[in-house]
């Protein structure tokens, strides 16, 4: 039997850890009766066990399966109902749990069934499950009534038949439509897969409308990735109730300090606000004192509440050009928790002492009552500092903030974090949701200022919790793997840039590479390759440092309205500093690793949704330019062609090798180049060249190019404005580079 761990249970009862171990190792589904029998509990102890199991469920440690059996939260019940979602020609069948309520995305289970053909997409089975390595295996026990496996796609007509094209770029298959219902060519629909490989068809179950209408592109991502958009009536009611909670009388009153919130002009919520002034402490001569005030979400969202469960299920807010899918109901995210000018707000405040060299000398945390002096857009704050416009708070608030920031920035430069100046694309919409422009977002000192104050507060939060020996949800960014470094070395060699593998790799190492490269055409490609070399950041209670920022301890503290990780850090600070109610629970402390895994996965889902939606907006914007010659830059070269992006706008598109020109192009894998056999013409990453836009598909976000002097091309336009537009045809007498010569 497992060893006993803290916390100590009532006499005679197993610990939480013992219960979790029993549930995980039991050969049969483990319900309350099985747990009680295994530990030899009395009738009275069974009553206490029931309450204990409820507490464990509320703390997110366990979940109940059909038949009231338990399993670890985030795991799969030992016996459960599965839905078949995929089957390939190789005989592999995959399923997902039909009901999944954990914080992490539902796992895919490989179905072990001798007669694979007996199972089709959409089928439901009762199955016994087992964890194997890093995945799950299912053993079907009984076939159940058929369910639905829905896919998102657009209907198109060809040869008198309707076909369904999925919205994903990588989805190469199209499904013949067996029943279109009320769907028409061009409609965005949800459809049910049916049949068995290789004859899988689609039956339309719901028509979602025009995929090219304003504000449709984000809905495609939302449907595709299963992002929850609707709060339950219970959650809304709870949010409205807690929003009326009187602000704490014991909070530190900071309403007299001119704290300002500097955000994007179109910000939907305001998590953070800042203030700084010269330090009057003689021990910090020439230094600064600063305040980073963060919305006190933990004051309103308590562990185990409906609000908390819903926030953890979402993991974060998701931001699109046309909408935000919030982690919290709007009454909290956009109103009561948002730090708005002139309104009294509850805040969790980080008080910093900064030396004249920009080092953090000390910090403390308090719950406070704040009244924001102003909400200022980045552009306006910068213009005020530059003397372009007048602002009433320029001298009293902004200049001291800038002076303290220059010290923080100097310390940042000395630390030499990874410095990749990759532009962020910004989609501008009009009031009707139509695209006005797509352009890189301007990077101002005002952006860097807020970023550095937030980093300082995040470091302070991590170190403060470490000093208190309290749980920390770290933001971890590990150093690159050797495999990725080897790939970078090979890549840099194609540009004549040397990179030694034997050295100790630091962020400054990559900065030195960019210094060597200098201001050349392929500089941005090198930056993008350096970015791909980095590992993906994640959340975890074990500290492995933040490589990119060159920091030993780092947590996310500054955005609790939109990130669940920050809310966990807030709760730990509330407990550690004894700041009142709403602190970290025992169950949360014990489940930090599981929580971290869940919110990391949900963060990746949000990033994919945001990236895909931007690609769709870019493709929609460029669809009006199909047939035009555009300035492009090669971003990658493969054996089947090269990928290019439109300068200043973005959007990746393929230029197939077969369509490049009237000669055979050989792929030089080491140099990552396509080289013409007759003329020696080369196409390589970073190269700028004019290309004609041949196709722009707003539904998938994909582009396709052709050479400016390509022959035999013709424009094919959809009758309806804004639809997918293609140029058909290819130059004659061209051999695909992959064919034998």
Q: What secondary structure, in 3-state letters, does 642-688 show?
A: EEEEECCCEEEEEEEHHHCCCCCEEEECCCCEEEECCCCCEEECCCE
pLDDT at 103: 52
Measuring CA to CA, which residue among 138, 131, 152, 133 is closest to residue 93?
Answer: 138
More confident residue, 41 or 416: 416
- Which of 56, 60, 82 is CA-nearest to residue 73? 60
- Say what the pTM is: 0.75
**276-291: pLDDT as tens digits:** 999 999 999 999 999 9
Residue 280: C-alpha distances to residues 180, 277, 285 (Å): 74, 9, 8
**Residue 717, pLDDT above cutoff 50:** no
Classify 138 as helix, strand or coil. Answer: strand
Q: What is the pLDDT of residue 507?
A: 94
Q: Do 492 and 513 touch, CB atoms closer than 8 A? A: yes
Dihedral, 489, 495, 496, 502 alpha carbons, nearest 10: -10
Tens digit of pLDDT for each residue in 535-545?
999 999 999 99
Mean pLDDT of 263-268: 88
- In three-state secondary structure terms, 303 is coil
Place of tokens 């709760």: 571
Helices 564-576 and 306-314: angle between axes, nearest 10 degrees: 130
As a whole number, mean pLDDT of residues 192-215 equals 79
**Among 24-28, 438-442, 526-530, 605-609, which stretch is predicted with the lowest mean pLDDT?**
24-28
Cα 32 to its chain centre, rounded Å, is: 38
470-519 pLDDT, tens per residue? 999 999 999 999 989 988 888 888 778 888 888 899 999 999 999 888 88
Q: Of 687, 667, 686, 689, give the one whose Cα is nearest residue 526.
A: 686
42-99: pLDDT as tens digits = 887 888 887 788 777 665 566 655 445 555 544 677 777 888 877 665 667 888 887 6
User: Torsion angle, CA of 239/243/244/250, rounded to 10 degrees?
Assistant: 130
Cβ 688 vs Cβ 647: under 8 Å: yes
Q: How far apart are CA 580 and CA 568, in angstroms?
A: 15
Q: Which two tokens stand for residue 475?
A: 């933001």
Mean pLDDT across 537-559: 96
Q: Is the pLDDT of residue 411 over 60?
A: yes
Range list of β-strands (E), 210-259: 252-253
Please tell me the least confidently modeled range out of 290-304, 464-478, 585-599, 643-657: 643-657
Which pLDDT value is given to residue 275?
A: 98
User: What pLDDT shows up at residue 511?
Assistant: 92
Q: What is the pLDDT of residue 142?
A: 76
CB 388, CB 318: distance < 8 Å: no
Give the pLDDT score at 457: 98
Tell me which of 17-26, 115-124, 532-541, 677-686 is least confident.
115-124
Q: What is the CA radius of gyration of the chain?
A: 29
- How much is the pLDDT for 69? 56
Strand partners, 714: 728
Instruction: Tell me the pLDDT of the chain averaged across its residues.
Output: 84
Please tell me the predicted confidence (pLDDT) of residue 212: 77
Average pLDDT over residues 583-612: 92
Tallying the residues shown for the chain, one arrives at 741
Tokens standing for 197? Answer: 């490989």
Residue 642 bridge partners (DSSP): 637, 655
* Contact residues for 61 (Cβ-Cβ < 8 A; gap 6+): 16, 20, 72, 73, 587, 590, 591
11 pLDDT band, cuts 50/70/90, is low
Q: Which residues are CB-neighbours of 646 under 8 A, at least 6 positions away?
A: 618, 622, 630, 631, 632, 653, 693, 703
- pLDDT band at residue 371 using 50, 70 and 90 as cut-offs: very high
Residue 718: per-residue pLDDT:
40
Window from 4-8, 420-424, 662-666 with minimum mean pLDDT: 4-8
Average pLDDT over residues 152-165: 87
- 633-657: average pLDDT: 87
Judged against a pLDDT cut of 80, whether residue 314 lies above it is answered with yes
Burial (0-12, 13-18, 19+ Cβ within 10 Å), 190: middle
Q: Which two tokens stand for residue 718?
A: 């959809």
pLDDT digits (tens, 9 = 90+) for 125-150: 888 888 776 678 888 887 776 555 56
Q: Reduced to 3 states, what is the DSSP secondary structure of residue 17?
A: helix
Q: Is the dihedral of CA 670, 675, 677, 680 positive or negative?
A: negative
The pLDDT score that the predictor gives to residue 27 is: 60
- Mean pLDDT over residues 676-685, rounded? 88
Alpha carbon 401 to chain centroid distance?
31
> Please, are residues 580 and 250 in contact by the beta-carbon 8 Å criterion?
yes
High-pLDDT (> 70) share of the chain, %: 86
* 693, containing H or E segment: strand 688-697
Q: What is the pLDDT of residue 169?
A: 65
**What does the alpha-carbon distance between residue 18 and residue 488 come to, in Å, rounded to a whole number?**
47
Among residues 250, 241, 255, the alpha carbon closest in space to that of 344 is found at 255
Q: What does each C-alpha distance from 35 to 18, 160, 377, 592 come to in angstroms?
A: 10, 62, 58, 24
What DSSP element (H or E) covers 456? helix 445-467
How much is the average pLDDT of 589-604?
Answer: 91
Q: Are strands 199-209 and 174-179 parallel, antiparallel or unpaired?
A: parallel
CB atoms < 10 A from the CB of 677, how many? 13
- Kindly report which listed range (25-29, 299-303, 305-309, 513-517) carries the lowest average pLDDT score: 25-29
What is the Cα–Cα distance from 57 to 6, expressed in whole angstroms? 18
User: Which residues are CB-neighbours of 492 under 8 A, at least 6 positions away?
Assistant: 498, 499, 513, 526, 529
| Strand 93-97 relative to strand 260-263, pairing | unpaired
């Amino acid at each position: 039997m497992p060893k006993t761990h803290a916390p100590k249970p009532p006499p005679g009862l197993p610990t939480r850890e013992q219960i979790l171990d029993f549930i995980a190792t039991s050969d049969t589904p483990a319900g309350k009766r099985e747990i009680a029998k295994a530990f030899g509990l009395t009738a009275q102890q069974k009553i206490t066990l029931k309450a204990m199991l409820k507490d464990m469920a509320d703390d997110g440690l366990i979940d109940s399966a059909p038949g009231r059996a338990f399993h670890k939260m985030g795991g799969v019940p030992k016996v459960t109902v599965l839905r078949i979602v995929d089957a390939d020609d190789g005989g592999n069948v995959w399923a997902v749990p039909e009901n999944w309520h954990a914080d992490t995305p539902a796992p895919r289970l490989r179905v072990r069934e001798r007669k694979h053909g007996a199972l089709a997409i959409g089928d439901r089975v009762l199955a016994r499950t087992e964890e194997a390595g890093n995945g799950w295996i299912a053993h079907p026990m009984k076939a159940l009534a058929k369910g639905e496996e829905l896919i998102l796609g657009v209907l198109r007509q060809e040869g008198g038949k309707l076909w369904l094209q999925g919205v994903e770029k990588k989805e190469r298959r199209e499904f013949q439509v067996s029943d279109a219902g009320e769907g028409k060519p061009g409609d965005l629909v949800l459809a049910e897969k049916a049949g068995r490989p290789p004859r899988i068809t689609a039956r339309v179950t719901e028509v979602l409308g025009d995929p090219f209408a304003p504000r449709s592109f984000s809905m495609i991502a939302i449907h595709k990735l299963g992002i929850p958009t609707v709060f339950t009536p219970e959650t809304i009611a709870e949010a409205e109730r807690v929003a009326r909670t009187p602000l704490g009388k014991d909070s530190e009153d900071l309403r007299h300090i001119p704290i300002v919130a500097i955000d994007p002009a179109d910000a939907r919520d305001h998590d953070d606000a800042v203030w700084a002034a010269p330090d009057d402490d003689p021990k910090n001569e020439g230094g600064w004192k600063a305040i980073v005030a963060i919305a006190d979400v933990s004051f309103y969202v308590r562990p185990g509440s409906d609000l908390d469960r819903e926030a953890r299920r979402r993991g974060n807010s998701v931001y699109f050009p046309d909408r935000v899918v919030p982690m919290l109901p709007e009454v909290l995210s956009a109103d009561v928790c948002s730090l708005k000018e002139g309104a009294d707000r509850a805040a969790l405040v980080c008080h910093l002492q900064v030396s004249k060299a920009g080092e953090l000398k000390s910090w403390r945390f308090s719950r406070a009552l704040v009244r924001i002096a102003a909400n200022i857009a980045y552009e306006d704050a910068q213009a005020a500092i530059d003397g372009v416009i007048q602002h009433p708070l320029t001298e009293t608030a902004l200049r001291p903030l800038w002076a303290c920031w220059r010290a923080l920035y100097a310390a940042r430069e000395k630390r030499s974090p990874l410095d990749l100046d990759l532009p962020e694309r910004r989609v501008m919409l009009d009031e009707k949701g139509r695209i006005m422009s797509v352009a890189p977002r301007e990077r101002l000192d005002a952006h860097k200022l807020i970023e550095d104050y937030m980093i300082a507060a995040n470091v302070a939060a991590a170190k403060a919790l470490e000093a208190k020996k309290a749980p920390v949800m770290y933001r971890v960014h590990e150093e690159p793997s050797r495999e990725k470094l080897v790939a970078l070395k090979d890549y840099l060699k194609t540009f004549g840039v040397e990179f030694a593998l034997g050295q100790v790799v630091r962020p400054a190492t990559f900065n030195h590479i960019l210094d060597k490269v200098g201001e050349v055409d392929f500089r941005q490609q090198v930056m993008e390759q350096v970015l791909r070399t980095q590992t993906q950041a994640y959340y975890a209670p074990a500290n492995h440092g933040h490589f990119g920022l060159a920091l030993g301890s780092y947590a996310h503290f500054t955005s609790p309205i939109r990130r669940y990780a920050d809310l966990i850090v807030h709760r730990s600070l509330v407990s550690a500093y004894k700041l009142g109610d709403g602190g970290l629970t025992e169950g949360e402390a014990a489940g930090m690793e599981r929580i971290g895994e869940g919110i990391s996965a949900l963060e990746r889902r949000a990033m994919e949704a945001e990236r895909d939606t931007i690609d769709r907006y870019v493709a929609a914007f460029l669809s009006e330019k199909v047939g035009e010659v555009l300035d492009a830059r090669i971003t990658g070269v493969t054996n089947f062609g090269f990928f290019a992006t439109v300068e200043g706008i973005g959007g990746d598109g393929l230029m197939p090798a077969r369509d490049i020109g009237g000669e055979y192009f050989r792929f030089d894998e080491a140099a990552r180049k396509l080289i013409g056999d007759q003329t020696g013409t080369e196409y390589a990453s970073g190269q700028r060249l004019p290309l004609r836009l041949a196709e722009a598909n707003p539904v998938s976000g994909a582009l396709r190019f052709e050479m400016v002097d390509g022959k035999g091309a013709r424009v094919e336009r959809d009758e309806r404005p804004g639809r997918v537009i293609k140029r058909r045809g290819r130059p004659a007498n061209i051999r695909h580079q992959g064919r034998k010569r």
